[in-house]
Amino acid sequence: MTPSDLAAITLCVEDPDRVITTPQIVERLSRDFYWYSPILKKLLDDKVAEAVIQPISVDEVQRVLACCYAREIPVTARGAGTGNYGQAIPLHGGVVLDLARMDTLESITEDGVAIAGPGVRLGVIENAARATGWELRCYPSTIVKASIGGFLGGGSGGIGSVAHGGLRDLGTVRAIEVVTMEAVPRVILHEGEAVHEILHAWGTNGIITRVWLALTPAVEWAQCAIAFPTFEEAFTFSEKIATEPAWTKRLVTTFEWPIPSCFAPILRITREGKSLVFFMIAAAQLEALEHAARTAGGEVTLAAPYTGLRTIPLLSDYTWNHTTLWAIKQDPAYTYLQCGFSPTEARSQFAQLRERFGQEILFHLEFMKTGKGIVIPGSIPLVRFTTEERLNEMIDFCRSIGVSVANPHSNHVEGGGRYREDNIQLMAKHKYDQRGLLNPGKMITFQPQDETHPQEVV
């Protein structure tokens, strides 16, 4: 980027203070949680933008994109930078478009839809929703920091997914407004099925500027932790609660020992050598859950009301990809995979993996509903990393025994497991970013086309 490029971009925003070139800040805002993966760490450590722009309106986004288009400057969108796969790391310099300041929560409609700017934090939506009798259908364990734009751009699901599926399921994302990367950037509304053009496209085919997110009626929740002597018993009990529709739940997480030994602040609710299950369960069902757990041979180590995101301890802080974080804190040799076990063959799959890889893989399950309405043992197992070859061997073996893997050690949309087989994210890129300037290098099937014949590709 030349000084003249920077001067031109600076004219696109009303306040020049929202154009940042201080190297330390630019570097910080060029990073996400890519270092969870030893492979991505090596690959991305030196990648950095040349400037960060912080727009506050759709107008400013349009002006910045028009300017970057004319000067062929790459633009990488950023929410809160909590993504795990280097999604928000610019591979080719240019501009990081930091959308954190477009953080207006416009409304929660009477029929339970949150209308929000891309920079609104998910925790803000959850709190506002609960104040009016609604709550998020699903959210990542990074809810307090993560933005709605980043969740749609790079996330998949989380707490709540056991009941409501992932972000892309069951019409949760009602509509998305995006700005295109063209000579004259357009503002385009995607509704219904068309949202899948943009969902989980890592900001490669449009900048999300407004979101309509369906909520669900709020439930009074409780938290519960139960220790079981064996992983088999913990799995059997958690599977039962997760799959039986009579239980109203928001979180069902199962950890085999020694994973709970990494949870330093809550060791008092763990038991040496035992597997642990965490639940968010309807408060009205807490007693029944405790009773069922004891009958199944479990020890209830915590049963307490959930009073919102400030509840202490907040069990969700140890689930989903927070589990990996606690493990890495204790031993940097840990990394992870993202797997889907079979709802009918999981026991045999666990056994085969244990036999082949021993304690190199440790089971951490997150039950989740699929788009077809089946609850499956999703999993973010911990892996003791030795070499890339060994990790790939594990991935190949998983796939060979019917365990699906969304590879978190890959830095492109197609590799991460949420890429659509119908290629609609790619087709949208051809429509909205023909020069390939949005987060370049992250959608590897994209090849820029002759701009004079765009219709051939659409």
Ligand X SMILES: Cc1cc2nc3c(=O)[nH]c(=O)nc-3n(C[C@H](O)[C@H](O)[C@H](O)COP(=O)(O)OP(=O)(O)OC[C@H]3O[C@@H](n4cnc5c(N)ncnc54)[C@H](O)[C@@H]3O)c2cc1C
155 binds ligand X (CB under 6 A): yes
**Residue 211 buriedness (CB in 10 A; 0-12 / 13-18 / 19+):** buried
Rounded Cα distance between 29 and 48, Å, is 9
Amino acid in the structure at residue 266 = I
Query: What is the enclosing helix (H) or strand (E) of 130?
Result: helix 122-131
Select the span of 20-28, 64-72, 153-161, 336-344 touching ligand X (CB under 6 A): 153-161
Q: Of 134, 202, 255, 385, which lies in the binding site for ligand X, with binding defined by CB under 6 A?
A: 202
Q: Give the closest residue to 44 by CA, choosing from 97, 87, 75.
A: 87
Q: Are 153 and 208 in contact (CB under 8 A)?
A: yes
Which residue sits closest to ligand X, CB atoms considered? 150
Residues in 336-395 that interact with ligand X by CB under 6 A: none
Q: Of 38, 55, 74, 81, which lies in the binding site for ligand X, with binding defined by CB under 6 A?
A: 81
Q: Of 74, 83, 417, 436, which lies in the binding site for ligand X, with binding defined by CB under 6 A?
A: 83
Question: Helices (H) and strands (E) in the chain — how many of each?
Answer: 14, 21
Give 106's contacts (C-beta < 8 A, 6+ positions apart): 115, 116, 117
Closer residue to ligand X, CB minimum distance, 124 or 286: 124
Select the span of 47-55, 156-164, 226-234, 427-435 touching ligand X (CB under 6 A): 156-164
Least distance CB 282 / ligand X (angstroms): 21
Q: Of 38, 74, 140, 185, which lies in the binding site for ligand X, with binding defined by CB under 6 A?
A: 140
What does the buried/exposed string (b/e) look like for 362-390 if buried means 16 or more CB atoms within 10 Å of the residue's CB?
A: bbbbbbbbeeeeebbbbbbbbbbbeeeee
Query: Which x/- pattern over 236-275 shows residues binding ligand X (rule: CB under 6 A)?
Result: ----------------------------------------
436 binds ligand X (CB under 6 A): no
Select the span of 71-79, 370-378, 399-407, 416-424 touching ligand X (CB under 6 A): 71-79
Q: Of 147, 238, 335, 411, which lies in the binding site for ligand X, with binding defined by CB under 6 A?
A: 147
**Residue 232 buriedness (CB in 10 A; 0-12 / 13-18 / 19+):** middle
Closer residue to ligand X, CB minimum distance, 310 or 453: 310
Give the strand pairing for 95-98 and 51-53. parallel
416 binds ligand X (CB under 6 A): no
188 binds ligand X (CB under 6 A): no
Closer residue to ligand X, CB minimum distance, 83 or 298: 83
Least distance CB 219 / ligand X (angstroms): 19
CA dihedral (288, 291, 297, 302) in degrees, to 10, reads 80
Closer residue to ligand X, CB minimum distance, 142 or 223: 142
CA dihedral (227, 228, 229, 231) in degrees, to 10, reads -120
Residues that bind ligand X (CB under 6 A): 32-33, 76-84, 87-88, 99, 118, 140-142, 146-147, 149-151, 153-158, 202-203, 207-208, 320-322, 325, 439
